[in-house]
């Protein structure tokens, strides 16, 4: 219970545990408003090719070859975390690079962003993708400019690849989920919003199994596919209540500029948003570039006219590059921006070197959004970056990259506002602010106990704060 003094004796019994916090900092449990659970599980079980582990093509080859030597020929080898920016060669591997490393196994090497993969020749042969193959809708097959031969690099082709590449086995998924669970609860994360656009009724069943077996402690909200949301079983769409630790959430739309033009087109995007809105669902639009964010906000305004979107809380995910005019529009529409401050820390050096200097002031404008009363919620986009929320808070406050450079300090947030975005803001993003996100009477006891107060320590110390205990729904699920 929340209050002063000792709790009433009638609320205590032999099973009640009294916890002395010993002066440490008790906060609401962290709520990651945008992550990808199965992709993170896949990363946990895959070959680590992230910048923390590899720095060259040779390192990647060694990592993949070591795994291949442990598995039978033609078993799929999955690598994750590729980021060519940090490789010595400063380029993306091709199928020929992977062929040299692992000729006898199909290899799928996924980029850190999750929006591109590299396949070796064995993998391309097994999925029958060749010179004659046509680019799928919104996807791009990179080709040799002289021969037209696929290089192995594929952009935004998950929908296609998920149909032709074998998935992880149930036992592998459960093992990975248990590892993922430990990672979350050790960091004080008590709620997760899965933003995977390919979630379906099958995924719902998988997560029901995880929950039934007690594998995942945090409560979970699954976004679903904009193309198939009408076919979801009626009993999967649950209202937010204190007893629901698994439910369906917003309908996800991917909008982007991978092909050089907006996809889906402006008219098609408006049609999709309007259809979802008219069915009474909340929409979440993936939008990174300034042009895409403008198109997304316009689609929301068309769908909700003549009302604003305030009561629907339609969301824009990422909102990475945003003009002042667009921020005003987002405020007027009541759009919730779900973004990832940790990108500044993990990807900031790349932004400084590759984003044009005149566009850098438009990146991740938390400060301006907060001043304009845009509703903010924070997440990690794991596995794109590590799921640690304290790194996200540190980045929002300091705007520092992992190399110590500062990017757009004027757009920083206070530590208190940053913590709020990772707790109450994330709860509000899915209509849960009445039951989660703050420590108040009547709310679910989702709590984390930190060894320091992020709102009352030196900013540089925030990223070193550790979690000591995690409580989900009143139950201690992890403690140091």
* pLDDT value, residue 244: 83
Torsion angle, CA of 55/178/199/289, rounded to 10 degrees?
-30
* pLDDT value, residue 225: 84
Q: Is 254 exposed, middle or buried (0-12, 13-18, 19+ CB in 10 A)?
A: buried
Closest CA to 480 of 182, 253, 261: 182
**At a CB cut-off of 8 Å and minimum separation 6, what does 437 contact?**
28, 31, 423, 424, 425, 426, 427, 428, 443
Here the tokens at position 243 are 């007893």
* pLDDT value, residue 226: 83
pLDDT in tens, 111-157: 999 999 999 999 999 999 999 999 998 899 999 999 999 999 999 99
Q: How far apart are CA 360 and CA 363, in angstroms?
A: 5
CB atoms near residue 227 (< 10 Å): 14
Q: Per-residue confidence of the chain (480 residues) as pLDDT tens digits?
A: 566 666 666 666 767 788 999 999 999 999 999 999 999 999 999 999 999 999 999 999 999 999 999 989 999 999 999 999 999 999 999 999 999 999 999 999 999 999 999 999 999 999 999 999 999 988 999 999 999 999 999 999 988 998 999 989 999 999 999 999 999 999 999 999 999 998 888 899 999 999 999 999 999 999 998 887 766 554 344 445 555 899 999 999 999 997 789 999 999 999 999 999 999 999 999 999 999 999 999 999 999 988 765 788 999 999 999 999 999 999 999 999 999 999 999 999 999 999 999 999 999 999 999 999 999 999 999 999 999 999 999 999 999 999 999 999 999 999 999 999 999 999 999 999 999 999 999 999 999 999 999 999 999 999 999 999 999 999 999 999
Distances (CA, A) of 209 to 22, 176, 463: 38, 14, 34
**Number of alpha helices (DSSP H) and beta strands (DSSP E) in the chain:** 15, 18
Chain centroid to CA 285: how far? 13
Pairing relationship of beta strands 315-318 and 283-287 according to DSSP bridges:
parallel
Closest CA to 51 of 386, 392, 463: 386
* pLDDT value, residue 218: 98
* pLDDT value, residue 307: 74
Here the tokens at position 103 are 């000729």
Domains contained in the chain, CATH given: 28-37+173-477 (3.20.20.140), 39-164 (3.10.310.70)
Predicted TM-score of the model (pTM): 0.89
Here the tokens at position 431 are 């209509």
């Amino acid at each position: 219970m929340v209050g002063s003094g000792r709790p009433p004796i009638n609320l205590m019994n032999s099973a009640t545990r009294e916890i002395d916090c010993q002066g440490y900092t008790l906060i609401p449990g962290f709520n990651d408003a945008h992550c990808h659970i199965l992709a993170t599980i896949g990363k946990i079980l895959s070959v680590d090719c992230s910048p923390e582990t590899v720095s060259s093509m040779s390192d990647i080859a060694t990592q993949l070859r070591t795994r291949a030597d442990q598995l039978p020929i033609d078993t799929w080898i999955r690598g994750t975390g590729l980021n060519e920016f940090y490789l010595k060669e400063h380029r993306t591997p091709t199928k020929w690079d992977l062929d040299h490393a692992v000729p006898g196994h199909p290899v799928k090497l996924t980029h850190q962003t999750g929006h591109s993969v590299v396949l070796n020749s064995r993998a391309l042969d097994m999925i029958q993708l060749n010179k004659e193959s046509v680019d799928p809708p919104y996807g791009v097959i990179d080709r040799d400019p002289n021969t037209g031969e696929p290089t192995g690099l594929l952009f935004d082709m998950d929908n296609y690849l998920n149909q032709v590449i074998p998935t992880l086995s149930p036992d592998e998924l459960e093992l990975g989920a248990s590892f993922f669970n430990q990672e979350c609860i050790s960091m004080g994360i008590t709620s997760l919003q899965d933003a995977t656009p390919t979630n379906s009724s099958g995924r719902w069943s998988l997560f029901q199994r995880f929950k039934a077996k007690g594998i995942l402690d945090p409560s979970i909200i699954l976004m679903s596919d904009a193309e198939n949301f009408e076919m979801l079983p009626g009993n999967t769409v649950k209202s937010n209540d204190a007893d629901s630790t698994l439910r369906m959430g917003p309908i996800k739309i991917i909008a982007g500029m991978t092909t050089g033009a907006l996809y889906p087109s402006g008219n098609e995007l408006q049609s999709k948003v309007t259809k979802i809105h008219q069915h009474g669902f909340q929409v979440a639009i993936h939008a990174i570039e300034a042009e895409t964010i403008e198109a997304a906000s316009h689609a929301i305004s068309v769908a909700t006219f003549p009302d604003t979107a305030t009561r629907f809380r339609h969301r824009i995910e990422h909102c990475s590059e945003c003009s002042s005019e667009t921020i005003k529009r987002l405020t007027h529409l009541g759009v919730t921006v779900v973004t990832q401050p940790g990108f500044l820390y993990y990807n900031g050096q790349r932004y400084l070197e590759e984003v044009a200097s005149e566009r850098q002031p438009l990146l991740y404008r938390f400060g301006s959004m907060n001043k304009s009363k845009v509703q903010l919620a924070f997440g990690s986009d794991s596995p794109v970056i590590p799921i640690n929320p304290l790194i996200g808070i540190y980045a929002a406050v300091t705007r520092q990259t992992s190399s110590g450079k500062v990017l757009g300090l004027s757009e920083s947030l206070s530590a208190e506002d940053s913590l709020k975005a990772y707790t109450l803001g994330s709860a509000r993003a899915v209509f849960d602010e009445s039951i989660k996100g703050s420590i108040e009477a009547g709310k679910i006891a989702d709590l984390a106990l930190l060894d320091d107060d992020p709102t009352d320590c030196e900013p540089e110390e925030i990223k070193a704060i550790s979690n000591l205990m995690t409580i989900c729904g009143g139950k201690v699920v992890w403690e140091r």
